[in-house]
Structure 1
Amino acid sequence: MHIDTSRSRFDAAKHYSGVLALQGRVLLDQDHNEQLAIWLHQLRTSLADVIGQAGAPRDAAGFAVDRTDKTADKLADLSLSAGRMYVDGILVENAVDTTYWGQPDGHLDHEADQLPDSGAFLVYLRVWEREVTVVEDPDLREVALGIHGPETTARSKVIWQVAAYPFGNDDPGNDPAAHWRADPPFPRRGLLKARARTPDDAETDVCSVSPEARFRGQENQHYRVEVFRSGPAAAPETTARTSRRGNRDASLAAPAQFVWSRDNGSYVYPVTALRGAEVAVGVLGRDSRSALDVGDLVEIVDDSSVALLGRDIEPSVVRTLFAVTAVDTVNLMVTLDRDPSGETGNIGRDQDLHPQLRRWDAPAAEITEGGWLDLEDGVQVQFTGSGSDPTTYRNGDFWLAPARRTTGDLIWPQGDAGPVALPPFGIDYHYAPLALVPASARAKVVDLRALFSPLTG
Structure 2
Amino acid sequence: MTMDISGKTFDPRDNHGDLLIAQGKLTLDSEQNAAAEARDRRWRVQTMDMIGRAGYPAGLPESFRITLGGGGEVLIGVGRMYVDGLLAENHGLTAAQGGTVGFDAAHAELRSSTAVPFDQQPYLPGTAPPDPAAGDHLVYLDVWRREVNHLKDPSLVEPALGVDTAGRSQTVWQVRSLPVADGVTCATPDDEIADWAGLIAPSSIRLSSFLVPVSDPDNPCEIPPGQQLRTTENRTYRVETHGLAADGRALLKWSRVNASVATRVVSIDSATRITVAQVARDDVHRFVPGDWIELIDDRLEFAGQPGLMRMVATADPATNVLTFDGAIPAGTFPVDADGVPTPDLNLRIIRWDQGGVVRASGGAVLADLTDAAGPGVFPAPPPGEFVELEAGIAVGIGFAPGPQRVRVGDHWIFRARAATGTIDMLADAPPHGTHHHYARLAVLEGGAGGFAEPVEDCRDPIDPDEVCCCTFVIQPGEDIQQAIDGLPLAGGCICLKPGEHVLPRTLVLARSDVTLHGEARGVTLRAPPNEPALQLAGTLADPVSRIRIHTLAFVGEGAEGANNRLLGMDGVEDVTVSDCDFSALQVGIGTAIRISNANDVTVANCRISRALAGVVADENSGDIVVGDCVMALANARGQPALIGIGMADATGPITVRDCTIRGALAGVVVNDDPSAPPASLATNSRVTGCVIELADLPPGNAPPSLVFGIDMAPEYATVSGNAVTYGSAPRVGIRIAGAHSVASGNHCRYQSRPPGLSAVGIVLGATNPDGAAAARTDDVTVGGNTVEGPQSGIFGIAAAHCRIAGNRIDGGELGNTTLGIFLNGCDDMDVAGNTILGAAAAIGAVEGDRCRLRDNRIEGGGFGIVALRMEAPAITGNSLRDCGQGGVLIAATTERSLIDRNRVIRCGSAADQGLGIAAFLVLGEATITGNEVMDTGEGRNGSSSSATAIGILGDLILEALVQGNLVTYGGGQTRDAANEDRAMRLRGLLEASVNFGDRRLVLGFPVKILGNSFIGTGQTALVELLEQRLTDNLVIRFERVTFSDNYCLHFSPPPDDRRATVSLRGHRGVIVGNHIKSLAGQYFPVNLNGVTSTYLGNVAEAPPIQGATVPMPVANFNLDT
Classify the TM-score, shorter chain.
0.7 to 0.9
- 1:446 and 2:434 equivalent? no
- 1:101 and 2:119 equivalent? yes
1:85-129 residue CA offsets vs partner (Å, 9 max, x unmatched): 11111111100120111100014554xx75463221110000001
1:19–1:31 contact (8 Å) kept in structure 2: yes
2:251–2:380 contact (8 Å) kept in structure 1: yes
Deviates more, 1:284-293 or 1:37-46: 284-293
- Counterparts of 1:30 and 1:187, CA distance in 2: 26
Shift in Å, 1:382: 0.1
State the match for 2:165 in structure 1.
152
The amino acid that maps onto 2:214 is P
- Counterparts of 2:452 and 2:348, CA distance in 1: 46
- Counterparts of 1:16 and 1:144, CA distance in 2: 37
State the match for 2:212 in structure 1.
197
Q: Which of residues 97, 107, 121 is equivalent to 2:137?
A: 121
Shift in Å, 1:302: 1.1
Which SS does the other structure have where 1:171 is aligned? Answer: coil
- 1:214 and 2:228 equivalent? yes
2:412–2:431 contact (8 Å) kept in structure 1: yes
Shift in Å, 1:200: 3.3
2:132–2:445 contact (8 Å) kept in structure 1: no
The amino acid that maps onto 1:354 is N
Shift in Å, 1:329: 2.1
- Counterparts of 1:343 and 1:101, CA distance in 2: 20
- Counterparts of 1:340 and 1:102, CA distance in 2: 27
The amino acid that maps onto 2:265 is V
Which SS does the other structure have where 1:35 is aligned? Answer: helix
1:92–1:160 contact (8 Å) kept in structure 2: yes
Matches within 5 A, 1:263-282: 263-276=257-270, 277-282=272-277
Which structure is higher in helix share?
1
- Counterparts of 1:340 and 1:34, CA distance in 2: 39
- Counterparts of 1:173 and 1:83, CA distance in 2: 24
- 1:331 and 2:329 equivalent? no
> Paired residues, what number?
411
Shift in Å, 1:218: 2.8
- 1:405 and 2:402 equivalent? no
- Counterparts of 1:449 and 1:174, CA distance in 2: 9
Two-structure CA RMSD over aligned residues (Å): 2.4
**Compared with structure 1, are the counterparts of its residues 107 and 371 closer, same or farther at alpha carbon in structure 2 (3 Å cutoff)?**
farther
Q: Which of residues 277, 282, 288 is equivalent to 2:283?
A: 288
The amino acid that maps onto 1:95 is H
* Higher RCO structure, 1 or 2 (CA under 8 Å, sep 6+): 1
- Counterparts of 1:343 and 1:189, CA distance in 2: 34
- Counterparts of 1:50 and 1:332, CA distance in 2: 53
Shift in Å, 1:339: 1.9
State the match for 2:917 in structure 1.
none
- Counterparts of 2:37 and 2:200, CA distance in 1: 28
Matches within 5 A, 1:129-278: 129-145=145-161, 147=162, 149=163, 151-168=164-181, 171-173=183-185, 175-176=187-188, 178=190, 179-180=192-193, 182-184=197-199, 188-201=203-216, 206-230=220-244, 254-276=248-270, 277-278=272-273
1:320–1:344 contact (8 Å) kept in structure 2: no
1:259–1:360 contact (8 Å) kept in structure 2: yes
Shift in Å, 1:186: 5.3
Shift in Å, 1:364: 0.3
- Counterparts of 1:393 and 1:301, CA distance in 2: 19
- Counterparts of 1:352 and 1:119, CA distance in 2: 34
1:121–1:439 contact (8 Å) kept in structure 2: yes
Shift in Å, 1:284: 1.7
- 1:80 and 2:59 equivalent? no
Matches within 5 A, 1:420-439: 420-439=427-446
Shift in Å, 1:187: 6.0
1:192–1:423 contact (8 Å) kept in structure 2: yes
2:186–2:457 contact (8 Å) kept in structure 1: no
Aligned sequence identity (%): 29
Which SS does the other structure have where 1:60 is aligned? Answer: coil
Which structure is higher in strand share?
2
Which SS does the other structure have where 1:36 is aligned? Answer: helix
1:107–1:307 contact (8 Å) kept in structure 2: no
- Counterparts of 2:252 and 2:299, CA distance in 1: 21
- Counterparts of 2:207 and 2:131, CA distance in 1: 36
The amino acid that maps onto 1:322 is R
- Counterparts of 1:222 and 1:40, CA distance in 2: 23
Which SS does the other structure have where 2:119 is aligned? Answer: coil
1:195–1:409 contact (8 Å) kept in structure 2: no
Which SS does the other structure have where 1:184 is aligned? Answer: helix
Which SS does the other structure have where 1:59 is aligned? Answer: coil
Which SS does the other structure have where 1:106 is aligned? Answer: coil
Deviates more, 1:346-355 or 1:279-288: 346-355
The amino acid that maps onto 1:209 is I
- 1:375 and 2:389 equivalent? yes
The amino acid that maps onto 2:165 is T
- Counterparts of 1:115 and 1:278, CA distance in 2: 40
1:2–1:266 contact (8 Å) kept in structure 2: yes
1:177–1:433 contact (8 Å) kept in structure 2: no
Shift in Å, 1:138: 2.2
2:232–2:418 contact (8 Å) kept in structure 1: yes
Shift in Å, 1:356: 0.8
Shift in Å, 1:174: 6.0
1:27-81 residue CA offsets vs partner (Å, 9 max, x unmatched): 1001111111111111111011111100101112410001233xx5xx6x41001
1:322–1:337 contact (8 Å) kept in structure 2: yes
**Compared with structure 1, are the counterparts of its residues 117 and 275 closer, same or farther at alpha carbon in structure 2 (3 Å cutoff)?**
farther
1:137-196 residue CA offsets vs partner (Å, 9 max, x unmatched): 222222333x2x3x331001000001111113x531561362455343656521000012
Which SS does the other structure have where 2:46 is aligned? Answer: helix
* Uncovered stretches (5+) of structure 2, i.e. residues with no partner: 93-114, 355-375, 468-1121
The amino acid that maps onto 1:319 is G
**Compared with structure 1, are the counterparts of its residues 114 and 448 closer, same or farther at alpha carbon in structure 2 (3 Å cutoff)?**
closer
The amino acid that maps onto 1:139 is S
2:202–2:436 contact (8 Å) kept in structure 1: no
Normalised by the length of structure 2, the TM-score is 0.35
Normalised by the length of structure 1, the TM-score is 0.84
Which SS does the other structure have where 2:238 is aligned? Answer: strand
State the match for 1:242 in structure 2.
none
The amino acid that maps onto 1:37 is E
1:227–1:395 contact (8 Å) kept in structure 2: yes
1:47–1:89 contact (8 Å) kept in structure 2: yes
- Counterparts of 2:463 and 2:283, CA distance in 1: 57
Larger radius of gyration: 2
1:107–1:308 contact (8 Å) kept in structure 2: no
- 1:5 and 2:5 equivalent? yes
State the match for 2:744 in structure 1.
none
**Compared with structure 1, are the counterparts of its residues 21 and 372 closer, same or farther at alpha carbon in structure 2 (3 Å cutoff)?**
same
1:386-420 residue CA offsets vs partner (Å, 9 max, x unmatched): 12x4422211100111111011121125xxxxxx2
Which SS does the other structure have where 1:158 is aligned? Answer: strand
**Compared with structure 1, are the counterparts of its residues 318 and 130 closer, same or farther at alpha carbon in structure 2 (3 Å cutoff)?**
closer
